Amino acid sequence: MTDYFTLLRPLIHRLPPESAHALGLWALRCGLVPPAPVPRSSLLQVNAFGLEFANPIGLAAGFDKNAVAINALLDMGFGFVEAGTVTPRPQAGNPTPRLFRLPEDEAVINRLGFNNDGLELFMEHFSRRDKSKGIAGVNIGKNKDAADADADYVAGLKAAYVHADYITVNVSSPNTPGLRDLQQRGKLSSLLEALRQARRECAQTYVRNVPVLLKVAPDLDRKEMEDIAEAALTYGVDGLIVGNTTVTRPERLRNSHRGETGGLSGRPLFALSTERLKDFYRLVGGRMPLIGAGGVFSAADAYAKIRAGATLVQLYTALVYRGFSAVRDIQTGLAKLLEKDGFANVQEAVGVDCC
């Protein structure tokens, strides 16, 4: 698989980024990408949010916005796949061009703006997934022109609840005006209370408990992080994803697209997102699991996230530069790192660098 991607990458990267992405999704849907299952290892098995994960390496939201390739993506060896972000009504997103590769920096800048086909079609696709293949979550957001943000998220939760293994509330994308304001104490409390009430109703209706996670930005100061952690604990959020893309621009960026507006992901995000992960791990004090995202390209990166407090890890941009073989490589390397340090299971390593 590595050889195929290495061979094809120069051709793929000659396509505009969105065209390349659409081609990749089409190939997955049509079964043109060979499955690459990763052998199960007791070292990597994780229990979190009441769910059993075969391994801690997941695919972040944004790759499969409309839930069209979940089965094929799980066949690539991911321990879990998060589809979306999906909004109640379809929306086109921001004007193109809106996705930029920064190959010298192994980074991507996007200002897509929650482009998706809407909840109805998304859930039609999502409901047809093969649940035996693994865990799949739904990442929900609000429409750009929503008059009532809370109502949009409640609609997303109610639609996803019956089929999702977990639901992620995305209040941290920088590409929808005003979205990150929902991380502010008052607005976040209002949103989480509305979602708590909706969860109670859904739990009674469907007789099941679906974990709800909150995805936060890495661009937060200490007070903002404290407020988010307190609200998450108060309103029964099951976990945090730390974090989304960043609007900051490290000086070391070399590519000519470095000044484009949007969220930066990839290698330059690793240090910042890992520090925020440590901050949140200390703030929640082990009272909820965290998912570490941002700049994960290697087993060492995933291990650093875990040692910084992540029970699970997500990646996305690594696929742009390494292909799906990165999933196997990370898991194989992570198992070796855990064995070397004397851990019997990956969960024993969570947060050891925060002590």
Among candidates 194, 242, 177, which has minimal Cα distance to 215?
242
Question: 3-class DSSP state for residue 206?
Answer: helix
Task: Give the separation between CA 260 and CA 216, rounded to whole angstroms.
Answer: 22
Please identify which residue in the block is written with the tokens 């070391």: 252
For residue 67, report the phi and psi dihedrals to the nearest 5 degrees.
60, 45
Our separate counts of H helices and E strands in the chain read: 11, 13
Question: 3-class DSSP state for residue 340?
Answer: helix
DSSP sequence for 100-159 = EEEGGGTEEEE---S-B--HHHHHHHHTTS-GGG-EEEEEE---TT-S-HHHHHHHHHHH
Residue 173 annotated among the catalytic residues of the structure: yes
Task: Give the separation between CA 228 and CA 313, rounded to whole angstroms.
Answer: 20
Catalytic residue, chosen from 173, 265, 273, 325, is: 173
Among candidates 18, 140, 162, which has minimal Cα distance to 82?
140
Among candidates 308, 229, 248, which has minimal Cα distance to 275?
308
Task: Give the separation between CA 158 and CA 167, rounded to whole angstroms.
Answer: 10
Rg of the chain taking only CA atoms, in angstroms: 19
Report, as residue numbers or ranges, the catalytic residues: 173
